[in-house]
Amino acid sequence: MEVIKDYNGRDYRTVWQHPRAKFEDEIETGVTKRLLSEDKGWFIDIGGGYGRLYPVLKKEGRNIVFADFAMNLLEIAEKDIGANSDVFLVAANAYYMPFKDSTFDGGLSIRVFHHMSDPEKFLRECARILSSGGRIMMEYANKRNLARTFKRGAQALREDHEAYGELLYGTHPRFYAKTVDQTGFTLRKTLGVGFIPRFITEKNVFLVPLLRPIEKFLDAVFGTRNLGPLNFTDIQKTGEKTPPNTASFNSIICCPACKKDVEDVGTGMKCTSCARTYPKVGKIYDFRYTADAQLGK
Ligand SMILES: C[S@@+](CC[C@H](N)C(=O)[O-])C[C@H]1O[C@@H](n2cnc3c(N)ncnc32)[C@H](O)[C@@H]1O
């Protein structure tokens, strides 16, 4: 059964105030630019939080949906980027997304897979909403990274989705590749990064300009061999690539529970089949649906 890591009540922006954060953000932005699909049409940031990556995702001819379970983070996104006509904010559970089959031309998901208690179910749902041939840039924590293999030995080499703590997982690259393959995707490329940031503290942050080339070297030598702590992957839904989806927002959404059409009832959306209602608060569509899932901290 899936359990949701709940960021409600927590200001995720504080993570980016750590001394190493600027360096980490720079690394993630760089690798995102390298791997992200160029596709126009509908694009989704799954578990997109407060929209940190909007400046990287923004593109002429692209509509971007930020889907996240945490209403508080979407409220921040609404204040910061909500006025842009290409931004759509949707509160949703990544296991039950309120989008019709084959909707999105592309997408990404960063720092989310490591919270997924049921990675197969999550990837299946990603495949469902993606159009044929569509690509998602998916990041996961590589449990078999170089440092961890030295530290943990056989435990790091075990090919599984290992719980590091409550709702925090590290995934073996082979387990990831197998799950990707079983859920209707092809793994096109993996770039491993993030060797240096964990060693940055307030005291040594001044060394970042010197450490930058070392990170680049480690990324090139070990990151490309599946030994980096953070694996950024480019995965593609099987099938022929289709032209960009030009449908309106109202025609890409559906009931997250029964997947049937929803209609606008003024205060939000209502399912035309099961009659469930989903409120709209400001610019945020609240489609959170949890079935039998539990919330976890
Ligand atoms: C570490 S944050 C990353 C946020 C964003 N991707 C970024 O890199 O700035 C993880 C995000 O995943 C979201 N999340 C975790 N489980 C989820 C689920 N089942 N459905 C939707 N969002 C989820 C959390 O609410 C949180 O915003």
Mean pLDDT of 214-219: 95
Q: Which pLDDT value is given to residue 194?
A: 95
The reply to whether ligand 1 has any atom less than 6 angstroms from the CB of 130 is no
- In percent, how much of the chain has pLDDT > 70? 98
Centre of ligand 1 from the C-alpha of residue 73, in Å: 9
- Weakest mean pLDDT among 111-120, 164-173, 233-242, 287-296: 287-296
Nearest ligand 1 atom, CA 109: 6
Give the residue whose CA is nearest to atom 15 of ligand 1: 5
**CA–CA separation, 250 and 237 (whole Å):** 24
**CA–CA separation, 146 and 160 (whole Å):** 17
DSSP for 54-109?
HHHH--TTEEEEEEES-HHHHHHHHHHHTTSTTEEEEE-BTTB-SB-TT-EEEEEE
What is the β-pairing status of strands 168-171 and 185-193?
Answer: unpaired
Q: Over 80: is that where the pLDDT of 241 sits?
A: yes
Give the residue whose CA is nearest to atom 8 of ligand 1: 110
Higher pLDDT, 295 or 162: 162
Centre of ligand 1 from the C-alpha of residue 97, in Å: 13
Centre of ligand 1 from the C-alpha of residue 201, in Å: 25
Q: Which of 67, 70, 160 is nearest to 120 (CA)?
A: 160
Centre of ligand 1 from the C-alpha of residue 47, in Å: 4
Quickly state the pLDDT bin for 4 (edges 50, 70, 90).
confident
Tokens of 102: 């084959």
Q: Residue 147, SS3? A: helix
Residue of 115, 193, 287, 289 best suited for mutating to test ligand 1, as the one with most atoms within 8 Å of CB: 115
Q: Which pLDDT value is given to residue 295?
A: 58
Count of helix runs (H) and strand runs (E) in the chain: 9, 15
Find the angle CA(67)-CA(70)-CA(73) to the nearest 5 degrees.
85
Quickly state the pLDDT bin for 292 (edges 50, 70, 90).
low
Mean pLDDT of 249-261: 97
Centre of ligand 1 from the C-alpha of residue 213, in Å: 30
Q: Which pLDDT value is given to residue 294?
A: 57
Q: Over 80: is that where the pLDDT of 96 sits?
A: yes
- The answer to whether 247 and 42 are in contact (CB under 8 A) is yes
Centre of ligand 1 from the C-alpha of residue 253, in Å: 20
Q: Over 60: is that where the pLDDT of 293 sits?
A: no
Residue of 1, 3, 5, 27 best suited for mutating to test ligand 1, as the one with most atoms within 8 Å of CB: 5
Q: Which pLDDT value is given to residue 296?
A: 54
Mean pLDDT of 40-55: 96
Quickly state the pLDDT bin for 10 (edges 50, 70, 90).
confident
pLDDT digit string (tens) for 176-198? 999 999 999 999 999 999 999 98
Tokens of 191: 């770039």
Nearest ligand 1 atom, CA 49: 27
Structural element, H or E, at residue 27: helix 21-35
Higher pLDDT, 15 or 212: 212
Higher pLDDT, 17 or 54: 54
Find the angle CA(229)-CA(164)-CA(36) to the nearest 5 degrees.
40
Please state the separation of Cα 175 from the chain's center in Å.
18
The reply to whether ligand 1 has any atom less than 6 angstroms from the CB of 269 is no
- The answer to whether 87 and 74 are in contact (CB under 8 A) is no
- The answer to whether 91 and 284 are in contact (CB under 8 A) is yes
**CA–CA separation, 185 and 177 (whole Å):** 9
**CA–CA separation, 147 and 251 (whole Å):** 47
Q: Which pLDDT value is given to residue 103?
A: 98
**CA–CA separation, 187 and 119 (whole Å):** 15
Mean pLDDT of 290-295: 67
Q: Which pLDDT value is given to residue 20?
A: 83
The reply to whether ligand 1 has any atom less than 6 angstroms from the CB of 73 is yes
The reply to whether ligand 1 has any atom less than 6 angstroms from the CB of 230 is no
pLDDT digit string (tens) for 56-93? 999 999 999 999 999 999 999 999 999 999 999 999 99
The reply to whether ligand 1 has any atom less than 6 angstroms from the CB of 88 is no
| Neighbouring residues of 128: CB distance < 8 A, sequence distance ≥ 6 | 97, 101, 102
Nearest ligand 1 atom, CA 110: 6
Find the angle CA(7)-CA(9)-CA(13) to the nearest 5 degrees.
65
